[in-house]
Structure 1
Amino acid sequence: MTGMHPRLTTTPAATTVFTMVLTQGPVSRVEIARRTGLSSAAVTKAARPFIDAGYLEELEATERTGPGAGRPASPLVIRPDREFFIGVKITHDDLIGVVTDLRARPLASAHRPLTATAPEGVVAELAALVTGLLDTDPAYRRRCHALGLAVSGDVDKAGGLVRYSPFLGWRQVPLARLAAQATGLTVTIENDVKSLTVAEQWFGDGVGASSFALVTVGVGIGCGLVVDDRVIAGSHGVAGEIGHIPVGGDEPACHCGGRGCVEAIAGTAPLVAAVGAATGRGPLSIEAAIEAAHAGDAAARQVFDRAGHALGLAMASMANLIGPERIIVTGDVPGLAAYELFEEQVNRAFAAQAFGAAADCRVLLRPRTFEQWARGAAAVAIQTLFTV
């Protein structure tokens, strides 16, 4: 993380208390103490820096701390406009940016096309996008200090480095430093799927689940994991790479250098190429491939069935290893349209391969726009408030 952001100096207890109010508030100190195991005095001490800095406020007393006695409790609530955040999703041909409040609610959005993917050019376009978003409202300029960037591929969040992004053609790009220099903001970078996972954990379908998985279907096949309330990155930052579980034997070859990866079977480009080859139609768009399958073309359907089987096996492997309470499946619109074609095969392979109670895991289909992916980047930026 790089930049000039006036971070709060917090303790683990303060982070716990603030996160609970942020994601589940309004909530009283008594209830926070009950849920977290902290003492009431510890909760009061933990909340004080956030109250003093204007991030939290107390509502008027609305409940009593005990049946028939005790003082009325004053719930704590977030002041969402105390600070604003920018999140940007970087694709190979577009920048999608949002301004959010503390609850990661999008307040303004903007798109900026990319004509090339060289890092210097992307950063220049990023700076222009950020300037435009900040100029939307004078309050954003005064109270926005943090920028979150979501990038596909192998991202070193702590080092601010994009180690490998196949769709951008990047290797070892110090994106956080470059973006901080260009924008003057504190910059946090994260893998795009993990960013979306943070948003789901705090503000979406993951709220209330201590363990869940987010699977994304589209250009790539990604997976974010939350275990015991923590997003899992692994020692090298690549935990959850479900797209590179080998389920296809020795074929086909994958861009990662491996063979038989889920992404090489169910990712948009290989899926479309396989439909074109199987039907003899040559190069197709994803929309044309989906249309062929919907029209009953047996060869096209077979390709989609294979993709669904591969994804179902990978999801079952993940469920067997992690044991999530739920799996949220999302992606871009064409990707999810394809998913609906092979959903039956996904469910069949998952049920056959999931072990024991892992087969009871709920699978939720949730479309997400690119603005919501950018919101995920903003959610990661919001975490910069808690750096101990």
Structure 2
Amino acid sequence: MRSTPRTEAFPAHTPAAAQIFTTVLSHGPLTRSDMAGRAGLSAAAVTKAVRPLIEAGYLVEHVDDEARPSLGRPANPVRVDGGRALFIGVKVTGDEIIAVLTDLCCRIRAARHLPLAARDPKAVLASIASLVHELLAEADGFGVQVQGLGVAVSGDVDRAAGDVRFSPFLEWRDLPLAELVEMTTGLPVTVDNDVRALTVAEQWFGAGVGLSDFAVVTVGAGIGCGLVVHGKVVSGAHGVAGEIGHVVVDPTGPPCHCGNRGCVEAIAADPAIVTAVRETTGRPVADAAQALELAHRGDPGARQVYARAGDAIGRAIATVANLLGPERVIISGEGLAAYDLFAEQIRDAFAVSAFGTAARCDVLTRPLPFDEWARGAAATAIQSFISGPNLGKG
């Protein structure tokens, strides 16, 4: 049996130090003057923040003796030492658990997948513990400690409390998941909604780097949306900001599990598409893969279902653009396997529904495997390590 992992406190003792480190993490290497400009801090504040981070090995300064200027402080670029710390991210779906080991720059070093035999919390906790211990053994080979664990779950998640209030795919209610996983693994744990976790990874390490306002819309088993407003991932006063899956786009449409009719999720999520393809074609399609295959073979009924789904997604994206005016909307999720079937409808519905200059929003498709969702969970653990567990309360 493994001993309890040892963790250390991150040496950023002020919000300015955390801000500087995050800036270098996302944009580096940077000189001190670059840091000051990006963070809006004085040169003295930057120097004070950087010194302990370099001394502790989290930042590395590249000194070029040949390029050293004759006067003043050298403008040496500073970067994050990604190998200084390791993190684990876990994504729990209704069918499997995916776990990844990442470095401090959120680069995946190892990955594990485990089918979910049962969805009750006890069984899931045992599976999480098994994968985490495998990755801790992998971490031993790097000679660096794992400093935190992030867990991403669909549904209504209270990150600050570490609780899953409701997860429809897992059928969990009011589960203190962070506390339970901490007891099981001995690691500091951050629990967040899976789409918000993916949004953190996109903000710090992906297609959202450098953007003040953007959204991530995920299409698949459900329809999700992560929002970044003025540089912060927003969860809202009640933790459910971004629930565009339950925006009604057709009041006479099919019933949704939330109790309304014609929600985006009731039209465009994988289970809704499978049901609609069965009803439209009369064929006994078992899952999303079979529905997709039927549409790709040219079945007109199946293609009509996907076209309707694209229209709903396009309207939902336009709603986000109209409300928030983001610079970019990133579309991702396993449902992008069908993108060729509804891309035109997404574009057309967005163009019709976006108001005025909201239509200038850059709509970017970014297919990401589930390993990347687990990486998003690791990103939340990195975020908590740097800035404390209360970051992201939104």
Instruction: Tell me the TM-score normalised to structure 1 length.
Output: 0.94
Residues 98 and 374 of structure 2 are in contact (CA less than 8 Å); yes or no, is this contact kept in structure 1?
yes
Residues 17-166 of structure 1 aligned to structure 2 (within 5 Å): 17-61=20-64, 70-139=72-141, 142-166=144-168
AA aligned to 2:27 is Q
Instruction: Quote the offset at 1:140 in angstroms.
Output: 5.7
Alignment-derived partner of residue 326 in structure 2: 324
Alignment-derived partner of residue 251 in structure 1: 253
Instruction: Quote the offset at 1:139 in angstroms.
Output: 4.9
Structure 1 residues 34 and 253, CA, compared in 2 at 3 Å: closer, same or farther? same
Instruction: Quote the offset at 1:293 in angstroms.
Output: 2.1
The one of 283, 286, 289 aligned to 1:287: 289
Please list the CA deviations of residues 133-190 of structure 1 after superposition, one character each: whole Å capped at 9, or x if unmatched: 1112415675102100011111100000011110111111111000000000000011
- Distance in 1 between the 2:135 and 2:143 partners? 9
Alignment-derived partner of residue 343 in structure 2: 343
Structure 1 residues 28 and 214, CA, compared in 2 at 3 Å: closer, same or farther? same
**Percent identity among equivalent residues?**
55
Please list the CA deviations of residues 73-129 of structure 1 after superposition, one character each: whole Å capped at 9, or x if unmatched: 122211111110000110112111110000000001111111100001100111111
Please list the CA deviations of residues 325-353 of structure 1 after superposition, one character each: whole Å capped at 9, or x if unmatched: 11111112xx1122321111111110001
AA aligned to 1:96 is I
AA aligned to 2:353 is Q
- Distance in 2 between the 1:303 and 1:344 partners? 14
- Distance in 2 between the 1:88 and 1:311 partners? 27
Alignment-derived partner of residue 302 in structure 1: 304
Instruction: Quote the offset at 1:48 in angstroms.
Output: 2.5
Residues 56 and 76 of structure 1 are in contact (CA less than 8 Å); yes or no, is this contact kept in structure 2?
yes
Instruction: Tell me the TM-score normalised to structure 2 length.
Output: 0.93
- Distance in 2 between the 1:374 and 1:235 partners? 26
Instruction: Quote the offset at 1:54 in angstroms.
Output: 1.8
Residues 61 and 73 of structure 1 are in contact (CA less than 8 Å); yes or no, is this contact kept in structure 2?
no
- Distance in 1 between the 2:252 and 2:50 partners? 55
- Distance in 2 between the 1:289 and 1:259 partners? 22
| Secondary structure at the counterpart of residue 171 of structure 1 | strand
Please list the CA deviations of residues 266-293 of structure 1 after superposition, one character each: whole Å capped at 9, or x if unmatched: 0001111101110111343222222322
- Distance in 2 between the 1:82 and 1:74 partners? 20
Alignment-derived partner of residue 210 in structure 2: 208
Alignment-derived partner of residue 352 in structure 1: 352
Structure 1 residues 62 and 34, CA, compared in 2 at 3 Å: closer, same or farther? farther
Alignment-derived partner of residue 370 in structure 2: 370
- Distance in 2 between the 1:63 and 1:174 partners? 56
AA aligned to 2:202 is E
AA aligned to 1:122 is V
| Secondary structure at the counterpart of residue 343 of structure 2 | helix
- Distance in 2 between the 1:309 and 1:284 partners? 24
The one of 186, 189, 199 aligned to 1:187: 189
For these two proteins, the number of residue pairs brought into alignment is 383
| Secondary structure at the counterpart of residue 98 of structure 1 | strand
- Distance in 1 between the 2:76 and 2:285 partners? 63
- Distance in 2 between the 1:51 and 1:195 partners? 28
Instruction: Quote the offset at 1:36 in angstroms.
Output: 2.1
Instruction: Quote the offset at 1:253 in angstroms.
Output: 1.5
| Secondary structure at the counterpart of residue 235 of structure 2 | coil
Alignment-derived partner of residue 391 in structure 2: none
- Establish whether residue 242 from structure 1 lines up as the match of residue 244 from structure 2: yes
AA aligned to 1:79 is D
- Distance in 1 between the 2:191 and 2:143 partners? 21
AA aligned to 1:108 is A
Alignment-derived partner of residue 172 in structure 2: 170
- Distance in 1 between the 2:122 and 2:152 partners? 17
| Secondary structure at the counterpart of residue 239 of structure 2 | coil
| Secondary structure at the counterpart of residue 52 of structure 2 | helix
Residues 91 and 153 of structure 2 are in contact (CA less than 8 Å); yes or no, is this contact kept in structure 1?
yes
- Distance in 1 between the 2:104 and 2:154 partners? 24
AA aligned to 1:179 is V
AA aligned to 1:337 is A
Residues 295 and 303 of structure 2 are in contact (CA less than 8 Å); yes or no, is this contact kept in structure 1?
yes
- Distance in 1 between the 2:65 and 2:213 partners? 32
Residues 139 and 146 of structure 2 are in contact (CA less than 8 Å); yes or no, is this contact kept in structure 1?
no
Alignment-derived partner of residue 233 in structure 1: 235
Instruction: Quote the offset at 1:69 in angstroms.
Output: 5.4
Alignment-derived partner of residue 264 in structure 1: 266
Residues 158 and 239 of structure 2 are in contact (CA less than 8 Å); yes or no, is this contact kept in structure 1?
yes
Structure 1 residues 258 and 142, CA, compared in 2 at 3 Å: closer, same or farther? same
AA aligned to 1:245 is V
- Distance in 1 between the 2:66 and 2:323 partners? 43
Structure 1 residues 57 and 238, CA, compared in 2 at 3 Å: closer, same or farther? same
AA aligned to 2:282 is G
- Distance in 2 between the 1:384 and 1:65 partners? 37
| Secondary structure at the counterpart of residue 206 of structure 1 | coil
- Distance in 1 between the 2:65 and 2:294 partners? 59
